[in-house]
Amino acid sequence: MDIKQEILSLRKTLEEHNYNYYVMDNPTISDFEYDAIMQRLIKLEEENPQFSDENSPTKRVGGVALSEFEQVRHSIPMQSLGDVFSYDELMEFDQRVRQGLNGETPEYIVEMKIDGLSVSLEYENGRFIQGSTRGDGAVGENITENLKTIKSIPLNIDDVSRLEVRGEVYMPRKSFELVNEEKRINGEALFANPRNAAAGSLRQLDSKITAKRKLDVFIFNIQDMKEGFANTHSEGLEKLKKLGFKVSPKRIVVSSIEEAYLEILKIGEERAELPFDIDGAVVKVNSLRQREVLGTTSKVPKWAIAYKFPAEQQETLLEDIIVQVGRTGAITPNAVLTPVKVSGSTVSRATLHNEDFIKAKDIRIGDRVLIQKAGDIIPEVVSVLKEKRTGAEKIYKMPTHCPACGEELFREEGEAALRCLSSNCPAQRLRSIIHFASRGAMDIEGLGEAVVEQLIDAELIKTPADLFYLKKEDLVPLERFAEKSAQNLIDAIEKAKKNPLDKLLCGFGIRLIGARGAKAIAAYFGDIDSIMSASAEEVSQIDDVGEKMAESLVHYFSEPETKELIEKMKAAGVNMVAEKSVSDGVFEGKTFVLTGTLPTLKRAKAQKMIEDNGGKVSGSVSKKTDFVVAGTEAGSKLDKAESLGIKIISEEEFLKMF
Residue 190 has pLDDT above 80, yes or no: no
8 Å CB contact between 325 and 403: yes
Q: How confident is the model at residue 187 (pLDDT cuts 50, 70, 90)?
A: low
Q: Please state which of the ranges 165-169, 183-187, 496-500 shows the lowest mean pLDDT.
A: 183-187
Q: Which CATH class is domain 83-308?
A: alpha beta
**Mean pLDDT for the stretch of residues 446-470:** 92
**Mean pLDDT for the stretch of residues 117-133:** 92
* Residue 64, pLDDT score: 56
Dist. CA 554–CA 539, nearest whole Å: 8
Q: What is the CATH number of domain 501-572?
A: 1.10.150.20
* Residue 222, pLDDT score: 92
Residue boundaries of the structural domains of the chain = 3-61, 83-308, 314-410, 426-496, 501-572, 591-656
* Residue 131, pLDDT score: 92
Structure-model confidence comparison of residues 540 and 293, the more confident one: 293
* Residue 63, pLDDT score: 57
409-418 contacts: CB < 8 A, separation 24 or more? 409/331, 416/353, 416/354, 416/355, 416/356, 416/357, 417/330, 417/331, 417/332, 417/354, 418/330, 418/331, 418/354, 418/355
Helix (H, G, I), strand (E, B) or coil at 414: coil
* pTM for the whole structure: 0.58
8 Å CB contact between 299 and 285: no
Buried-state track 452-462, b at ≥16 Cβ within 10 A, e below 16? bebbbeeebbe
Q: How confident is the model at residue 254 (pLDDT cuts 50, 70, 90)?
A: very high
Q: How confident is the model at residue 31 (pLDDT cuts 50, 70, 90)?
A: low
Q: Which of 114, 110, 83 is nearest to 301 (CA)?
A: 83
Dist. CA 575–CA 505, nearest whole Å: 11
Q: What is the CATH number of domain 314-410?
A: 2.40.50.140
**Mean pLDDT for the stretch of residues 474-503:** 92
Q: Kindly report, residue by residue over 74-85, the tens digit of the pLDDT.
A: 888 888 888 898
Could you give the count of Cα atoms lying within 13 Å of 69 in the half-sphere of its Cβ? 23
Please tell me if the domain spanning 426-496 has the same topology as the one spanning 501-572: yes
* Residue 21, pLDDT score: 64
DSSP state for residue 22 in the 8-state scheme: I
Q: Please state which of the ranges 8-17, 58-67, 326-335, 362-371 shows the lowest mean pLDDT.
A: 58-67
* Residue 367, pLDDT score: 96
Residue 584 has pLDDT above 60, yes or no: no
Amino acid at 558: S
Structure-model confidence comparison of residues 286 and 173, the more confident one: 286
Percentage of the chain modeled with pLDDT above 90: 44
Range among 105-109, 423-427, 431-435, 653-657 rated most confident: 105-109
Q: Which CATH number fits domain 591-656: 3.40.30.10, 3.40.50.40, 3.40.50.920, 3.40.50.10190?
A: 3.40.50.10190
Residue 167 has pLDDT above 90, yes or no: yes
List the catalytic residues. 113
Q: Kindly report, residue by residue over 514-572, the tens digit of the pLDDT.
A: 888 898 899 888 899 999 999 998 898 887 788 889 999 999 999 888 999 999 999 99
Structure-model confidence comparison of residues 538 and 18, the more confident one: 538
* Residue 572, pLDDT score: 96
DSSP state for residue 357 in the 8-state scheme: H
DSSP state for residue 416 in the 8-state scheme: S
* Residue 493, pLDDT score: 96
What mean pLDDT is reported for the chain?
87
Give the CATH H-level superfamily of domain 426-496. Answer: 5' to 3' exonuclease, C-terminal subdomain (1.10.150.20)
* Residue 370, pLDDT score: 94
Give the CATH H-level superfamily of domain 3-61. Answer: Helix hairpin bin (1.10.287.610)
